[in-house]
């Protein structure tokens, strides 16, 4: 009786033994089983959302599948190697006949195991691919490398748009392309020889019109838009500029920024002298098949012919839609306007700016010295303002931490913003009244073509009181 039971159990697990009668296959069976059991335990994570932590994410979604598939590969490898050495598949192979219960059991086992492996394997693969597309993986895995972009992204209007929505297109070819360059980047990170700061512009970014227009419909982005920009003087007095931006529709004819560059039948090509596309000596404007070439007065055609030519799209103006690094002055102005820095502290704008514009070798050094510098300034002459000074110091540090990353050599102004013309060349790279066509026409600098100036650094702009109903 006892003997019989024993033999029936061993008959049941016999299929496993056939597959693992060599040590390589045995390791394989062990890995597959381990990964399978772990998968079963962690099933809620695999069916549900994302891991809360970047390293848990890597373990769950990337390492476990590797273990699983490695195990799955080792089993046949072991059998193959055993065959190569001329040994039989198993020491006591059952007779090859359907009447043999051994063979039937073996067949059932193979079918069930293959089914289970397909389910587990496809779920693991799907999750791994999905995880590599998540904001978490892109932004937080190599957290030192991506910290500047990830931080700026979290403070941008696109902080709920996944990285891949802008950086990678759908479909197999984009997938392969991105994973290839991703593997290349991973090696650079592992060898610690990646570029600091991460170079911009991104040479293989997906065509902007495809990505951006997935959410911003060109015929829609049309109406004029009121921009109110708040500034402070060094001593904390507030002024406001009010601009009516001539956005212009993308599809309709008429005036405006978008109509001029991205309207129907418009194509603009330009040559740039530097990699960062900040110096643009040649522009070609095509509308309805008619082209005009503009050349900067100091440029000559031979030099331009050797330069890289690019077709203008959304990114040439909106190059920082998501990684919007601020200038120190604007960031401090916003902090004062928001109340994080108390405007009644004497000379607080200048004190905060001096504190954050000094160079720091490490983040830790800045964390120590920025709040200390602000507090020290008020300690002697305004000891009663200690709490306000401490808060201003902390806010100044926050401003710095969003924009400067010594570990990645990202300083103030490392990544210029092409919208506007006050902080960086921006629109004036072309609109400088210096790019001339053969007929002597220029790419113009008429202030009102781009925006109507409703108020210019005024204390109480009348236009805003009027809009508020005179109050
Ligand atoms: C709304 C679209 C958008 C989203 C979302 C987005 N990016 Fe970008 N990213 C851009 C654009 C545009 C550039 C600059 C391209 C250029 O100038 O050629 C850029 C540039 C970069 C660069 C190059 C360095 C630089 O600052 O120019 C890195 C690195 C980067 N992005 C990482 C990320 C990561 C990580 C995420 C998600 C956390 C992300 N991006 C989300 C649009 C986006
Ligand atoms: C997946 C959708 C999506 C994609 C793709 C996308 N955006 Fe946006 N974008 C948004 C949303 C949503 C907002 C509004 C956020 C808000 O109002 O705070 C927005 C806001 C903006 C704004 C207005 C910001 C402001 O200050 O009011 C600009 C400009 C913009 N996007 C440009 C772009 C550009 C350029 C691209 C392509 C590189 C792009 N977007 C890609 C969803 C997207
Ligand atoms: C010639 C430069 C330029 C190009 C090219 C350009 N834009 Fe703009 N866009 C601007 C400016 C300037 C603004 C206004 C910014 C402001 O109000 O501060 C703007 C505003 C926007 C806004 C916000 C509109 C609103 O009403 O709030 C969106 C969205 C936008 N652009 C999307 C796009 C998309 C998508 C493309 C590509 C098809 C594109 N832009 C091409 C310069 C450009
Ligand atoms: C790569 C060069 C280039 C850049 C950069 C550029 N533009 Fe232009 N823009 C042109 C050209 C070329 C024209 C058409 C000039 C013509 O009429 O032949 C034009 C026309 C315009 C017009 C229409 C002018 C009119 O008189 O109707 C507006 C408005 C405009 N641009 C706004 C902007 C704004 C805003 C920016 C910055 C965010 C900008 N442009 C950046 C090349 C550029
Ligand atoms: C080619 C288009 C264009 C032309 C020409 C142009 N601007 Fe601007 N200007 C812009 C854009 C775009 C902004 C940025 C708005 C924003 O911050 O989003 C801007 C911003 C400004 C600001 C606000 C600066 C701030 O942040 O406080 C002032 C002031 C200004 N322009 C003055 C002028 C004056 C004066 C002229 C005429 C000499 C002029 N602009 C010509 C496109 C233009």
DSSP codes of every residue in 312-337: --HHHH-S-SSS-PPPHHHHHHHHHH
Q: Are residues 303 and 281 in the same domain?
A: yes
Question: What pLDDT, in 10s, does the model give residues 423-436?
Answer: 999 999 999 999 99
Q: Are residues 313 and 423 in the same domain?
A: yes
Mean pLDDT (the chain, rounded): 85
Question: How close is the Cα of 155 to the center of ligand 1, in Å?
Answer: 13
CB 449 within 8 A of CB 433: no
Higher pLDDT, 58 or 385: 385
- Around Cβ 17, how many Cβ atoms within 10 Å? 14
Ligand 4 proximity of 443 Cβ (cutoff 6 Å): yes
Question: How close is the Cα of 201 to the center of ligand 1, in Å?
Answer: 9
Among residues 439, 424, 462, which one has the least CA distance to residue 320? Answer: 424
Higher pLDDT, 254 or 316: 316
Q: Which residues lie closer than 8 Å to 103 by C-beta, 6 or more apart?
A: 94, 95, 96, 97
Give the number of the atom of ligand 4 that is nearest the alpha carbon of residue 437. 18
Give the number of the atom of ligand 3 that is nearest the alpha carbon of residue 419. 12
Q: Are residues 447 and 308 in the same domain?
A: yes
Q: Which residues lie closer than 8 Å to 67 by C-beta, 6 or more apart?
A: 31, 34, 35
How far from chain centre, in Å, is Cα 353?
28
Tell me what pLDDT residue 447 has: 93
Q: Are residues 150 and 127 in the same domain?
A: no
**% of the chain with per-residue pLDDT over 90:** 46
Q: Are residues 433 and 290 in the same domain?
A: yes
Higher pLDDT, 398 or 105: 398
Ligand 1 proximity of 319 Cβ (cutoff 6 Å): yes
Is 337 inside any structural domain?
yes
Is 150 inside any structural domain?
yes
CB 236 within 8 A of CB 349: yes
pLDDT reading at 324 higher than 70 = yes
Nearest-5° Cα angle at 441, 440 to 444: 135
CB 139 within 8 A of CB 149: yes
Ligand 4 proximity of 255 Cβ (cutoff 6 Å): yes
Q: For residue 405, is it left (φ>0), alpha (ψ between -120 and 50) or beta? A: beta
Confidence of residue 365 (pLDDT cuts 50, 70, 90): very high
DSSP codes of every residue in 171-194: SHHHHHHHHHHHHHHHHHHHTT--
Tell me what pLDDT residue 99 has: 74
Whether the pTM exceeds 0.75: the reply is: yes
Among residues 92, 94, 91, which one has the least CA distance to residue 104? Answer: 94
CB 131 within 8 A of CB 52: no
Residues in the chain: 471
Is 82 inside any structural domain?
yes
Q: What share of the chain is helix, strand, coil (3-state, %, to 5)?
A: 50, 10, 35
pLDDT reading at 39 higher than 90 = no
Higher pLDDT, 199 or 47: 199
**Token code pair at residue 311:** 């077709």
CB 257 within 8 A of CB 267: no
Tell me what pLDDT residue 402 has: 95
Confidence of residue 1 (pLDDT cuts 50, 70, 90): very low
Is 459 inside any structural domain?
yes
Higher pLDDT, 134 or 162: 162
- Mean pLDDT, rounded, for 134-151: 76
Q: Find the ligand nearest to 242 CA.
A: 5
Tell me what pLDDT residue 41 has: 81
Phi and psi for 443 in degrees, rounded to 5?
-80, 110
Confidence of residue 91 (pLDDT cuts 50, 70, 90): low
Question: What pLDDT, in 10s, does the model give residues 205-251?
Answer: 777 878 888 888 766 667 788 999 999 998 889 999 999 999 887 55
pLDDT reading at 255 higher than 60 = yes
Ligand 3 proximity of 397 Cβ (cutoff 6 Å): no
Q: Are residues 24 and 120 in the same domain?
A: yes
Ligand 4 proximity of 444 Cβ (cutoff 6 Å): yes
**Token code pair at residue 398:** 């926050």
Q: Are residues 293 and 236 in the same domain?
A: yes
pLDDT reading at 169 higher than 80 = no
Tell me what pLDDT residue 218 has: 65
Tell me what pLDDT residue 190 has: 67
Q: Sign of dihedral through CA atoms 351, 353, 359, 361?
A: positive
Question: How close is the Cα of 256 to the center of ligand 4, in Å?
Answer: 9
**Token code pair at residue 127:** 């999750």
CB 386 within 8 A of CB 375: yes
- Average the pLDDT over each of 32-46, 160-174, 323-337 and give the range with the smallest value: 160-174
Is 301 inside any structural domain?
yes
pLDDT reading at 7 higher than 60 = no
Confidence of residue 4 (pLDDT cuts 50, 70, 90): very low
Looking at 106, 132, 158, which one is the last position of a domain?
132
Ligand 5 proximity of 241 Cβ (cutoff 6 Å): yes
DSSP codes of every residue in 111-146: HHHHHHHHHHHHHHHHHHHHHHTSHHHHHHTTHHHH
Is 210 inside any structural domain?
no
Ligand 3 proximity of 124 Cβ (cutoff 6 Å): no
Q: Are residues 23 and 127 in the same domain?
A: yes
Is 297 inside any structural domain?
yes
Looking at 382, 408, 434, which one is the last position of a domain?
408
- Mean pLDDT, rounded, for 27-40: 87
Tell me what pLDDT residue 224 has: 85
From CA 41, how far away is CA 183, in angstroms rounded? 30
Q: Which of 154, 170, 215 to mutate to test the pocket of ligand 2 (most atoms within 8 A of CB)?
A: 215
- Mean pLDDT, rounded, for 6-20: 62
Looking at 198, 216, 250, which one is the last position of a domain?
198
Tell me what pLDDT residue 3 has: 42
Alpha-helical segments (H) within 155-263? 163-167, 172-190, 208-212, 257-262
pLDDT reading at 366 higher than 70 = yes
Tell me what pLDDT residue 373 has: 96
Ligand 4 proximity of 430 Cβ (cutoff 6 Å): yes
- Mean pLDDT, rounded, for 437-466: 93
Ligand 2 proximity of 385 Cβ (cutoff 6 Å): no
- Mean pLDDT, rounded, for 34-63: 73
- Mean pLDDT, rounded, for 14-32: 78
- Mean pLDDT, rounded, for 82-110: 73
Is 87 inside any structural domain?
yes
Confidence of residue 279 (pLDDT cuts 50, 70, 90): very high
Nearest-5° Cα angle at 265, 261 to 270: 45
Q: Are residues 317 and 426 in the same domain?
A: yes
- In the sheet where 225-232 sits, what is the strand order? 225-232, 238-245, 451-458
Residue with tokens 């009348």: 462
Confidence of residue 405 (pLDDT cuts 50, 70, 90): very high
How many helices (DSSP H) and strands (DSSP E) are in the chain?
A: 20, 8
**Token code pair at residue 392:** 């201003």
Q: How many domains does the chain have?
A: 4
Q: Are residues 380 and 445 in the same domain?
A: no
Q: Are residues 315 and 431 in the same domain?
A: yes
Q: Are residues 333 and 358 in the same domain?
A: yes
Domain that holds residue 264: 225-322+418-467
Tell me the CA distances in angstroms from 207 to 98, 149, 203, one per residue in order.
60, 20, 10
Tell me what pLDDT residue 277 has: 95
Ligand 1 proximity of 202 Cβ (cutoff 6 Å): yes
- Mean pLDDT, rounded, for 435-439: 95
């Amino acid at each position: 009786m006892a003997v019989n039971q024993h033999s029936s159990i061993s008959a049941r697990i016999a299929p496993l033994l056939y597959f693992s009668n060599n040590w390589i296959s045995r390791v394989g069976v062990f890995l597959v089983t381990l990964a399978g059991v772990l998968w079963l335990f962690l099933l809620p994570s695999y069916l549900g959302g994302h891991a809360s932590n970047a390293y848990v994410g890597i373990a769950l979604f990337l390492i476990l599948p590797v273990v699983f598939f490695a195990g799955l590969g080792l089993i046949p490898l072991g059998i193959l190697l055993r065959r190569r050495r001329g040994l039989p598949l198993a020491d006591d192979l059952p007779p090859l006949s359907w009447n043999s219960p051994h063979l039937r059991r073996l067949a059932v086992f193979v079918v069930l195991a293959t089914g289970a492996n397909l389910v587990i394997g496809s779920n693991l693969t799907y999750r791994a691919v999905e995880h590599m597309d998540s904001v978490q993986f892109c932004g937080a895995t190599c957290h030192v490398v991506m910290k500047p972009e990830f931080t700026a992204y979290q403070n941008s209007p696109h902080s709920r748009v996944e990285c891949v929505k802008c950086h990678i297109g759908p479909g197999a070819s984009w997938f392969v392309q991105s994973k290839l360059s991703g593997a290349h980047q991973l090696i650079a990170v592992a060898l610690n020889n990646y570029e600091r700061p991460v170079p911009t512009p991104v040479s293989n970014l997906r065509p902007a019109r495809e990505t951006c227009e997935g959410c911003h419909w060109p015929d829609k982005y049309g109406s004029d838009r009121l921009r109110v920009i708040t500034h402070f003087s060094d001593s904390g007095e507030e002024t406001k500029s009010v601009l009516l931006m001539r956005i212009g529709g993308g599809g309709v004819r008429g005036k405006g920024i978008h109509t001029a560059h991205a309207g129907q039948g418009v194509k603009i090509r330009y040559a740039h002298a530097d990699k960062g596309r900040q110096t643009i000596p040649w522009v070609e404007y095509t509308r309805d098949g008619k082209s005009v070439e503009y050349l900067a007065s100091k440029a000559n055609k031979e030099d331009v012919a050797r330069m890289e030519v690019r077709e203008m799209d959304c990114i040439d103006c909106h190059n920082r839609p998501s990684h919007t690094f601020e200038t120190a002055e604007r960031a401090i102005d916003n902090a004062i306007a928001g109340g994080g820095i108390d405007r009644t502290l004497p000379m607080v704008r200048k004190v905060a700016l001096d504190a954050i514009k000094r160079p720091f070798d490490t983040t830790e050094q800045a964390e120590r010295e920025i709040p200390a510098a602000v507090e020290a300034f008020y300690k002697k002459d305004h000891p009663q303002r200690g709490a306000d000074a401490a808060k201003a110091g902390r806010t100044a540090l926050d401003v710095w931490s969003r924009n400067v990353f010594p570990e990645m050599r990202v300083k103030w102004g490392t990544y210029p913003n092409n919208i506007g013309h006050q902080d960086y060349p921006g629109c004036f790279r072309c609109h400088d009244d210096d790019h001339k066509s053969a007929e002597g026409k220029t790419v113009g600098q008429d202030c009102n073509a781009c925006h109507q100036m409703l108020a210019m650094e005024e204390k109480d702009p009348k236009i805003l009181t009027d809009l508020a109903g005179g109050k």
